[in-house]
Structure 1
């Protein structure tokens, strides 16, 4: 059953505005980059199937977020100023994670042939993927309510036909702002641990969050097509 969205979990005001702004900025900066990257991957590996290219995207994303988490954790080991530097680096690294997820989501959409450029579907899918199971539950509920459950295709492709998209996105932003802030704050405490502990926790924690993103993408986009379109 789709997960309900309790009214008391909604977040609005400045926090939601900051999150929405960061999200839109990340999407704007990564849309063209993701499309170009997939094209170059296909050109470099012309015999590889969409499934294999998708596996490359999964691996690249997990490697990137793991490395960024470990790097921030290692900053805390600098004598005297490590913790101060790490606090600033954690904020920047959260934006890196957001941009990496936007890139990954848009690249996966390209592999699956899902055109997300219409309306605010880019925002919807990036938030869905970042939220993991709760995001796919919200999207699945929205698709079912709009009658999309009876239409074939992946959850991502069916989401393109959702009416009232702004309302769905509003609920997503509310959940996204609250959950993302809590996850990153919890992980930040581990990254501030001294010596190599912070690096280990940062790398492990980011990889765990990254795996949640990859699993959500698998649920949302489904199995990659067997072959590339003839065009």
Structure 2
């Protein structure tokens, strides 16, 4: 039997509700688009392996989140109104980052041939990837040795008690997402163009954590695409 998932304190209140709703909305909105995007990449590059397509996903995700962070930070350089505008934009950009991470995670799942169309598995993997090392630790603890061989992502499809695991994962996710984004927001509000540098660098650093955690969660891509 897998070890018990460590208990997490419940996180409640308006902020938690906003993050939770945004997470689920991002997953619902990006799931179909992610699968379609991988199919389009395969049509555009028919000779490329799953590993090469995965590299494309990594690069596009990092470029997108870096650009969005820099764009928000740059608004703080506008004389008189920059900081006010940037403060409002930071919240919206955080949701953009969340949607980009969900899209990226579900695209990687498609490359690896992992069908996570049931909403709870989609949520589990997106939260795992966004949480970083703590996410993979929670998932590994939940899966234990009962899932057989394969990556954490593939073994998670067979893990029992998914609702409880997701509840604990969500509690951790809400707190960590809020703390990381709040800390980064302060730097993005810096004037004289510094906000753009901080925003771009910070988003890329968070994006790199997402990519590295996807590596740990999904493992190496398959060597070839499945035969139709």
Give the shorter-chain TM-score range. over 0.9
1:84 aligns with 2:84: yes
Residue ranges of structure 2 left out of the alignment (5+ in a row): none
Cross-structure match for 2:200: 203
Cross-structure match for 1:183: 180
- SS of corresponding position for 1:195: coil
4+ residue runs over 6 A deviation: none
Q: For the residues of structure 2 that align with 1:11 and 1:99, how far apart are their CA atoms?
A: 21
CA contact (8 A) 2:8 2:168 kept: no
- SS of corresponding position for 2:193: helix
**CA deviation after TM superposition for structure 1 residue 119, in Å:** 4.6
Cross-structure match for 1:30: 30
**CA deviation after TM superposition for structure 1 residue 13, in Å:** 4.1
CA contact (8 A) 1:23 1:98 kept: yes
**CA deviation after TM superposition for structure 1 residue 66, in Å:** 0.2
Residue ranges of structure 1 left out of the alignment (5+ in a row): none
**CA deviation after TM superposition for structure 1 residue 118, in Å:** 2.3
Cross-structure match for 1:157: 154
1:11 aligns with 2:8: no
Cross-structure match for 1:221: 218
CA pair 73-49 structure 1, distance change in 2 beyond 3 A: same
CA contact (8 A) 1:127 1:172 kept: yes
Alignment of 1:41-120 (within 5 A): 41-120=41-120
Q: Indicate the RMSD between aligned Cα atoms, in angstroms.
A: 1.4
CA pair 195-110 structure 1, distance change in 2 beyond 3 A: same
Q: For the residues of structure 2 that align with 1:11 and 1:91, how far apart are their CA atoms?
A: 19
CA contact (8 A) 1:16 1:173 kept: no
| Residues 66-97 of structure 1 deviation map (CA, whole Å, 9 limit, x = unaligned) | 00000000010011111110011000000000
Alignment of 1:113-132 (within 5 A): 113-132=113-132
Q: For the residues of structure 1 that align with 2:52 and 2:118, how far apart are their CA atoms?
A: 27
CA contact (8 A) 1:68 1:93 kept: yes
**CA deviation after TM superposition for structure 1 residue 185, in Å:** 0.4
